[in-house]
Amino acid sequence: MASAALLAQLRDRLGPQGLLTEEADMAGHAIDWRRLFPGRPLAVARPADTAATAAVVDLCRRHGVAIVPQSGNTGMAGGATPDASGTELVLSLARMNAIRDVDPVGMTMELEAGVILETAQNAAAAAGRLLPISLAAEGSAMAGGVIATNAGGINVLRYGMARSLVLGLEVVLPDGTVVNGLRRLRKDNAGYDWKQLFIGSEGTLGIVTAAVLRLLPAPKDKVTALLSVPDPRAALDLLACAQDELGDTISAFELMSGFSLRLVETHFGLKRPVADGEWFVLIEAASTLSGLRDAAEAALGRALEDGFALDGIVADSGRGAADLWRLRERITESEAKEGKSVKHDVSVPIPLVPQFLVEAGEALAAKLPGARVNCFGHLGDGNLHYNVLADGRSSEEVNVVVHDVVQRFGGSISAEHGIGRYRVAELERRRAPAELDLSRRIKTALDPLDLMNPGKVLSRASLPRK
């Protein structure tokens, strides 16, 4: 059998540690953390370096076997797990976990795809530098996955998404070619910036094996504040006020609904330390200079005086701040404990967020009465996690209601989590034909046999027949 021959060749090339074929050993690679996208891998290959990764890709191409790249397997869109056919090989980057270099003067870090995000953050901090990508899955998510999904997180407002921090990339193409673009340059206009194609491509164009990331000076002063606000429009006024008073030191501006914080209190016993309100904002500002606390208190005073905020507290960095962040970080898990939900990761232009919330709420009430909304997100980026608890309703039914409103507002149906396999149909329904056609042309040019994460981002049926 072709697959038996492939497995024998892979075992030869990778050694006993490099190939898993027993069901029990593969179990953690076969399903995502939300347990929504199970599959059955042919095997799990665990190459230890770039050359071995290229060899795996080359062997799979010769045997016509599809590959599903996987890093930390924390993705939200079902992109990192195989289908149920038992014919797709999972290629895990977990053994490629070296931080090759941290340069505090050039402010760069070169690392392999399997380095856990938190490990990379700690290595930057040890050199007095900041790697500003931060998200609740940072203890498991790996550099390769973060880059392949162009992850966002809580610091996008100030530092941009993963894309803005990638200076250089090394990838293995679907034909097994290694392309080494691990340059540490801030300025490089020599030809096409091809690395951008791979950032956010969710493993459908090639495998990210290593990267050079941009670092920043580590902040020495940090303040975190929690405020209650009367409504989302006031939260936007508060954003403008905070930008006036704190300038570009604002690194996070998170909106949380009263419902979200009630879930956290119910399931984790964590109480919010500010008086009643139906909406809450968590703001963090960080600076390499001191004096932030005074500026934060001035901003809070102005917000209370002008009526944007109803109540608020300012915590110094340290324990108080961690307690405030815990409220935000527990929302996703509280929602999971509350019941089944249909998640949406949408963005609309920032000034339109309040009206979007009104119209999405009205559409749900009209079409899916009784549905409850757990809304929270990165208001400073116009990105909302608009999750709907609607017992007995299919995700398709709920998606259409929410995404119709998103589309009306000129928004995106995936702000930061990607398309994976979960949102393929929605993307194909809602993106302009010319944009989809361009994406298919890129995919076909790089992966004519559709062996790199097939069925993710673009449907198999939409690609030319092999």
Is the CB of 136 or the CB of 436 nearer to ligand FAD?
A: 136
What does residue 246 show for φ and ψ, rounded to 5 degrees? Answer: -115, -5
Is the CB of 277 or the CB of 420 nearer to ligand FAD?
A: 420
Is the CB of 234 or the CB of 282 nearer to ligand FAD?
A: 282
Asked if 130 and 219 count as a contact pair (C-beta separation under 8 A), the reply is yes
Phi and psi based region of residue 89 (left: phi greater than 0; alpha: psi -120 to 50; beta: remaining): beta
Write down the residue that tokens 């050199």 correspond to.
127
Residue by residue, DSSP assigns 352-421 as GHHHHHHHHHHHHHHHSTT-EEEEEEEGGGTEEEEEEE-TT--HHHHHHHHHHHHHHTT-BSBSSS--TT
CB of 130 to ligand FAD, least distance (A): 17
**Antiparallel, parallel or unpaired: β 41-45 and 88-92:** parallel
Footprint of ligand FAD (CB under 6 A)? 33, 68-76, 79-80, 93, 113, 135-137, 141-142, 144-146, 148-149, 151-153, 202-203, 207-208, 332, 416-417, 420, 453, 456
Distance of CA 356 to the CA centre of its chain: 22
Is the CB of 251 or the CB of 332 nearer to ligand FAD?
A: 332
Give the Cα separation of 453 and 144 in Å (integer): 15
Distance of CA 379 to the CA centre of its chain: 16
Is the CB of 6 or the CB of 115 nearer to ligand FAD?
A: 115
CB of 340 to ligand FAD, least distance (A): 17
Is the CB of 245 or the CB of 345 nearer to ligand FAD?
A: 345
At residue 189, what is the residue type? Answer: N
Asked if 452 and 67 count as a contact pair (C-beta separation under 8 A), the reply is yes
Write down the residue that tokens 């757990």 correspond to.
374
The tokens for 387 are 């999750």
CB of 52 to ligand FAD, least distance (A): 14
Is the CB of 30 or the CB of 274 nearer to ligand FAD?
A: 30
CB of 73 to ligand FAD, least distance (A): 4
CB of 332 to ligand FAD, least distance (A): 5
CB of 186 to ligand FAD, least distance (A): 24
Give the Cα separation of 63 and 5 in Å (integer): 9
- DSSP conformational letter for 135: -
Q: Which of 151, 19, 148, 178 is nearest to 71 (CA)?
A: 148
Give the Cα separation of 430 and 198 in Å (integer): 22
Residue nearest to ligand FAD according to CB distances in the complex: 145
Is the CB of 112 or the CB of 245 nearer to ligand FAD?
A: 112
CB of 459 to ligand FAD, least distance (A): 15
Is the CB of 308 or the CB of 376 nearer to ligand FAD?
A: 376
CB of 411 to ligand FAD, least distance (A): 16
Give the Cα separation of 152 and 162 in Å (integer): 6
Residue 349 contacts by C-beta under 8 Å, 6 or more apart in sequence?
A: 382, 409, 410, 411
CB of 174 to ligand FAD, least distance (A): 11
What kind and span of H or E run contains 374? strand 372-378
